[in-house]
Amino acid sequence: MKILIADDNHEFCTTIADIIASEGWEYKITNTPQDTLQYLDVHADRVGVLLLDVEFNHPTLTGIDVLERSVRNWPQIPVVMITGVGTISIAVRATQLGAMNFIEKSAIDRARLKEVLYTAMEKVNVRSAAKEAMQLMDDQGLIGRSSAMLDVADNIYRYGRTELNILILGETGTGKKLVARALHAASARNGKPFVTVDIPNIPAPLFQSELFGHTRGSFTHATEDKNGLFQQANKGTIFLDEIGDLPLELQANLLVPIEEKTVRRLGSIKSTPIDVRFISATDRNLIGAIEEGKYREQLYHRLRECEITLPPLRDRREDIPLIVEHYTQAHNSKMDEQKMFSSAALEYMSELPWPGNVRQLENMLRVVLQTSNGDRVEVADVARVESPQPNGKRSERSNVQSFLDSGNTLREDVDMLNKIKIEDVLEANKGNVSKAAAKLGISRETLHNRIKKHGIDVSRFRRKR
């Protein structure tokens, strides 16, 4: 792995390169923003750390612009900003945009540089290990390269290799079962059974029989001995899906299997040892349920030795184009078609609320891809089949039809919504374009282009201070 030094001060680059070489690391020097981005386009997989100057002598691009593109396109690369005198405030803002650290040129020395680089290289090792987890997630259909999903990948890699019990939290449709499968695949049990216990669909009278098994004659219609789901999962992983839906009166039944790793068949007096790893998932607030006396605190702590929280889709909108591409490719491969979504359609979908998260998006994509005419999917195709909210009403943002009553085209309506959103965010951030771009999840360059396209006067928001 190389350390990429991006600075237009040639003498400074040479000094830094000498220190890096003395530590046994390889390096590459670039002196312009364009050269830096071009090198990353081709060799990002070989870059371990990016040392990036904040201020380049360039008419349009700054180090902040390079940082934004690097964080967006190559999030696995830690970025350390190099700052000159008077640019510390910019460097602090850079860390808010995704830079890992910054070094002031006037205070730089060998010891400080080594400290920062070794810390960054530790981050590289973690991210490198997470690549395996990201591949596991991809294999399970859990798509995303946002910082939130990189954190999920880190946790899958870290916790997956252990024997600890893991609780997965997240809203409906975020992919909790996919994470459970990825954890199993990352574990030493990956060649053994992965058994799902669908808690809400097991009738209470059959709970013990389904999980622990039963002996012949233990109840009416028990005509033979039966292994339960725990025995079926032996040596592997048992996934307790929707564990928050388990009735209070049944929760104590899980304590012995978890604590003592034994189960007793219904109708038997003999306990059988089991070797299983427990992964659970819920969209419920278990802490609140404990406070209300509806959930056993002892069970909660047994199941939650580690915790992974999945972000809702609205908090990782930058992943939506990747998810759309994934399902589009799968559709094209299955149906022998060449469909693709227009940039306007992708932009439109990225602004929808998605209360049903990835599952809702997946269901909508399935319908859109099978019902749209032609190879190019437009905003109108998406709006036509967009899923309603659970209460039967369309979301406020996605209620496009009322917008269309004005006689505008869908493209004009989407442009108007974009303009309103940008102006709202600019006003909230007092005209600070960089902060607004970070809030919108786009680069500053992209936001500048949209501001120009919509004829927005940024200065009027600054005057409101």
Domains, the chain, in order of start with CATH, read: 2-127 (3.40.50.2300), 144-311 (3.40.50.300), 313-398 (1.10.8.60), 409-465 (1.10.10)
Residue in the block written with tokens 């001995």: 225
Residue 392 has pLDDT above 50, yes or no: no
Alpha-helix residue ranges (DSSP H) falling in 140-236: 147-160, 176-186, 207-212, 229-232
Identify the pLDDT of residue 97: 80
| Short-list 175, 238, 146, 249, CA closest to 207 | 249
Split at pLDDT 50, 70, 90, the class of 229 is: very high
Q: Could you tell me if 70 and 91 are in contact, meaning their C-beta atoms sit under 8 angstroms apart? A: no
Cα separation, 318 vs 343, whole angstroms: 13
Residues 409-417: what's their mean pLDDT? Answer: 69
Helix or strand or coil: residue 312?
Answer: coil
Identify the pLDDT of residue 397: 42
Query: For residue range 116-150, what is the model confidence (pLDDT) as tens digits?
Result: 888 777 666 655 555 676 777 888 888 988 888 88
Lowest mean pLDDT, pick from 256-270, 339-353, 448-462: 448-462
Cα separation, 401 vs 387, whole angstroms: 13
Cα separation, 180 vs 166, whole angstroms: 9
Identify the pLDDT of residue 245: 95
Distance from the Cα of residue 188 to its chain's centroid: 24
Tell me the β-bridge partners of 332: none
- What is the enclosing helix (H) or strand (E) of 114? helix 110-139
Lowest mean pLDDT, pick from 3-7, 55-59, 187-191: 55-59
Kindly report the backbone phi and psi dihedral angles of residue 370, in degrees, each rounded to the nearest multiple of 5, phi listed first.
Answer: -90, -15
Identify the pLDDT of residue 58: 84
Q: Could you tell me if 274 and 314 are in contact, meaning their C-beta atoms sit under 8 angstroms apart? A: no
Query: For residue range 94-109, what is the model confidence (pLDDT) as tens digits?
Result: 777 888 887 878 777 8
Cα separation, 95 vs 68, whole angstroms: 11
Interacting residues of 282 by C-beta distance below 8 A, sequence separation 6+: 167, 168, 169, 242, 243, 244, 245
Residue 175 has pLDDT above 60, yes or no: yes
| Short-list 37, 30, 33, CA closest to 56 | 33
Lowest mean pLDDT, pick from 101-105, 175-179, 294-298, 449-453: 101-105
Identify the pLDDT of residue 463: 59
Split at pLDDT 50, 70, 90, the class of 91 is: low
Strands (E), 179-288: 194-198, 237-241, 262-264, 271-273, 277-282
3-state secondary structure 183-198: HHHHCCCCCCCEEEEE
What percentage of the chain has pLDDT greater than the value 90?
46
Residues 415-434: what's their mean pLDDT? Answer: 83
Residue 420 has pLDDT above 60, yes or no: yes
Identify the pLDDT of residue 126: 54
Strands (E), 224-302: 237-241, 262-264, 271-273, 277-282
The pTM of this model reads 0.61
Identify the pLDDT of residue 394: 44
Split at pLDDT 50, 70, 90, the class of 459 is: confident
